[in-house]
Amino acid sequence: MIEFEKRLVAREALKLIGDVKLLGLGSGSTVAIFVEELAKSDKAGKIKVIPSSKQIEEVARNQGLEVIYPDGERPEITVDGADEIDSNLNLLKGGGGALLREKVLAYNSSTYVIIADHTKLVEKLCSKRALPVEVLPYGVSWTLGNLIKRFNCDARIRIKDLSPFITDNGNVIVDINCPPLEDPASMESEVKGVPGVVEVGIFVGLADLVLIARGSEVKVVRQGF
Ligand code: 5RP
């Protein structure tokens, strides 16, 4: 069912992008499905994409899309996924470790569109998942200790295949097991205030449009509504 919802929402997003010439791509499995749908469509030969990660770049190249890097012109639209979405369209991101580049793309896109299956909806961010934070390897044990002390929560360096997970930017991810967030904006700025923190997986006020699939229906929610 979840795979069905991801494809459904990916197809809806494709209708939305119209004749856009420059498109930003987030990361993750939902965006990968969107890229497959894009590549099959009549838009494929007319569009350039800016990927947010090596993962989605590989998917886009394998599907024959034209890939460019972020310089000069900014994307008209970026399509991205999310790990959690609250009722104010604040997002929790970084499950795949691409949060830093995703935030750069989101900030620099005219329209930032989120596509997700219904399991991503939550009342408060960090209800189901830990908060991902991208951290500089330099002094990482100090930064980890500072985050644990400051937020009085368990926090761990993300491990993949028995080693620290390294982001596309050469950094590590610290996952903070905090309680559900009452105030995502202040949490974002408080975590960013800790030296060594490069970026936080809380996206406040960036999503313009969220498409959520539930069963065979897609709900579209706009910022401000
Ligand atoms: C990667 C992300 C992804 O957008 C998020 O993890 C959603 O992935 P999926 O579509 O596989 O559930 O934030 O950093």
pTM of the predicted structure, to 2 decimals: 0.97
Q: Check whether residue 188 and residue 210 sit in a common domain.
A: no
- Can you list the pairs that 187-196 forms with residues at least 24 positions away whose Cβ atoms lie under 8 Å? 187/131, 190/150, 190/151, 191/131, 191/133, 191/147, 191/151, 194/143, 194/146, 194/147, 194/150, 195/143, 195/146, 196/135, 196/136, 196/138, 196/139, 196/140, 196/142, 196/143, 196/146
Residues in the ligand 1 pocket, defined by CB under 6 Å: 26-30, 80-83, 93-99, 102
Nearest CA to ligand 1 atom 8: 28
Q: Check whether residue 43 and residue 142 sit in a common domain.
A: no
Q: Check whether residue 194 and residue 212 sit in a common domain.
A: no
Nearest CA to ligand 1 atom 5: 82
Contacts of 204 (CB under 8 A, 6+ apart): 90, 184, 185, 188
In this predicted model, what pLDDT tens digit does every residue of 101-159 receive, in sequence order?
Answer: 999 999 999 999 999 999 999 999 999 999 999 999 999 999 999 999 999 999 999 99
pLDDT at 223: 79
In this predicted model, what pLDDT tens digit does every residue of 5-34 receive, in sequence order?
Answer: 999 999 999 999 999 999 999 999 999 999
Distance CA 134, CA 126 (A): 16
For the question of residue 102 being annotated catalytic, the response is yes
Distance CA 77, CA 91 (A): 17
Q: What is the mean pLDDT of residues 158-182?
A: 98
Q: Pairing relation of β-strands 131-135 and 154-157?
A: unpaired
- Amino acid identity, position 89: L
Q: Which of 6, 7, 30 to mutate to test the pocket of ligand 1 (most atoms within 8 A of CB)?
A: 30
Distance 130 CA to ligand 1 centre (A): 13
Catalytic residue among 84, 102, 188, 199: 102
The pLDDT > 90 percentage for the chain reads 98
Q: Check whether residue 107 and residue 152 sit in a common domain.
A: no
Q: Check whether residue 30 and residue 136 sit in a common domain.
A: no
Q: Check whether residue 100 and residue 148 sit in a common domain.
A: no
Cβ atoms of 208 and 225 within 8 Å: the answer is no
> Where residue 162 sits, what CATH number does that domain have?
3.30.70.260
The token duo for 4 is 């069905």
Domain coverage including residue 19: 2-122+204-222
In this predicted model, what pLDDT tens digit does every residue of 204-215 receive, in sequence order?
Answer: 999 999 999 999
Q: Check whether residue 23 and residue 70 sit in a common domain.
A: yes
Q: How many domains does the chain have?
A: 2
Whether 225 has a pLDDT exceeding 90, the answer reads no
Q: Check whether residue 135 and residue 193 sit in a common domain.
A: yes
- pLDDT bin (cut points 50, 70, 90) of residue 76 is very high
Binding-site positions for substrate read: 27-30, 80-83, 93-96, 120
3-state secondary structure of 58: helix
Please identify, by atom number, the ligand 1 atom nearest to the C-alpha of residue 99.
14
Output the average pLDDT for the chain. Answer: 97
Q: Check whether residue 118 and residue 51 sit in a common domain.
A: yes
> Where residue 56 sits, what CATH number does that domain have?
3.40.50.1360
Please identify, by atom number, the ligand 1 atom nearest to the C-alpha of residue 93.
13
